[in-house]
Structure 1
């Protein structure tokens, strides 16, 4: 029984620490889900919050699988393939090009506004 809590249920504990969620955290989390745990008993609130946070984590992992070509191999303890590494490089280059284009467009928009203001005076 070493390391096990002497009170409460095992579902309320993680690594020996009780998981408590503030009312604000519960309210904020329910805004992102179609689930309202505020009316639950305390024990059930914690379980509902854990479920919602687990779903959020699963969604984030699924999105990363879709967007990061290296993630799948890394998560399985493997080295990414040459093709996956090339895909990641291309993806990074494209993101950098888009960032530069956006930055350039933002700078040009500011110059047009400044130029227009100078003509009005």
Structure 2
């Protein structure tokens, strides 16, 4: 017996989507929309939209901070320049972390 099972309102692109109350409440905390009062079909569409926005934000953030991510995202090997930039970035972060550790351990430092 092939085909979809359940209500047609909870299907989108062949996948069944059911969001629990806890996941709806969790997304409400991060977005300005309160979808708890929506009908189940509308609630699922809105939840999908909010989750897509979260994923797009994460990808955009990685594009900004990881020079090799764009190439690897498209299945390519990063260029030598991107690899060099990533190495420099890692070295600078390590240097800043060591500096911060030194200054935090200084006696008489005000917090």
TM-score > 0.5, shorter chain as reference? yes
Q: Normalising to structure 2: TM-score of the pair?
A: 0.84
- Structure 1 residues 73 and 87: alpha-carbon distance in aligned structure 2, compared to 1, 3 A threshold: same
Aligned residue number for residue 86 of structure 1: 84
- For residues 1-121 of structure 1, what are the structure 2 equivalents within 5 Å? 2=2, 4-9=3-8, 10-11=11-12, 14=15, 18-108=16-106, 111-112=107-108
Name the Cα RMSD after superposition: 2.0
Larger Rg: 1
Give me the TM-score of the superposition, normalised by structure 1: 0.78
Write the distance in 2 (CA, Å) between the matches of 1:12 and 1:44: 15
Which structure carries more helix by proportion? Answer: 1
* Cα gap change, 1:91 to 1:107, in 2 (>3 Å): same
